[in-house]
Amino acid sequence: MSHQAERSPAIPWWQDRTPREIAALAAADGVALLPLAAIEQHGEHLPLSTDLDIALGLIDAALPRVREGLPVCVLPPLAVGLSLEHCAFAGTLSLSPETALAVIVELGECVAAAGFRRLVLFNSHGGNKALVDLAALKLRAALRMLVVRANYFRFAPPPDVLPADELRHGLHGGALETAMMLHLAPARVRMDRIAHFDSLGREMAREGRLLGPEGEAGFAWMAQDLNAGGATGDARLATPALGARLVEHYSGQLARLIEDAHAFDLARLADGPLDGAG
């Protein structure tokens, strides 16, 4: 699938519409979806486009599962995000935190100016998490619009799909991402470079530490802190069948989320401070 998803007939792209068609979607109380990704290293077995390929693949699989007739429109993906933690590796592209946040917020403002009041920020890159949270809050505060923070990797995975240790420590280029790439874009995976990429996080867990790269108490890390090659996790566990199962599951969650965003009662968003709020 890879970048072919950009022109998939299953995706109702914003840029394929005319002004009147966009206005009609807004008038129908439509949902706008903004894909957020990254162009960054994922070890030597996966391409720089991995996060973008996965985001577009999940959207492509999700939209046919959305209830027929539900008005939804997908904005052009933000392929480059905040990837400071990967900048030591050649090929990584990154905006500054300030620029990345401003871009998301200003695009959200354009969506609101077109008449939309429902926006899903669909993110496939861990480094964008803080941006998604802050941009959503800024847009809600300024424009009283529903802004959904959707990071696919925060969706609960299918049961028994991978060992708990891999789900916890395979943060980057591990079994999960490699499997989805084997399903979505197998020609782009360097099969001879797939390996088990151990990590500082797994080592700290073995030592019984509460502190780790992620989890209950995490520290700021650069990719090379966790593994010199920039990947973490056991990519050897990845198979195309596992990837198909993961895409089926995560795209189903995304479809459900789009429907929930459309069904949300906007009257639940308060106009101003609650009575008694200081």
For residue 233, the SS3 value is: strand
pLDDT at 271: 83
Question: At 173, which CATH number?
Answer: 3.40.50.10310
Cα–Cα dist 78/80, whole Å: 6
Q: What is the pLDDT of residues 115-157, one digit of tens each?
A: 999 999 999 999 999 999 999 999 999 999 999 999 999 999 9
DSSP states of 107-128 as a string? HHHHHHHTT--EEEEEE--GGG
Residue 274 lies in a domain: no
Domain count, the chain: 1
pLDDT for the residue 215: 83
181 contact partners, CB below 8 Å, separation of at least 6: 46, 47, 50, 53, 54, 188, 189, 243
- Domain with 246, as residue range(s), is 17-267
* Residue 182: count of CB within 10 angstroms of its CB: 22
Residue 272 within any structural domain of the chain: no
Whole-Å CA distances, 121 to 72, 75, 108: 13, 10, 9
Point out the residues of the chain with pLDDT beneath 50: 1-4, 274-278
In-domain check, residue 277:
no
pLDDT given at position 182: 98
DSSP three-state, residue 6? helix
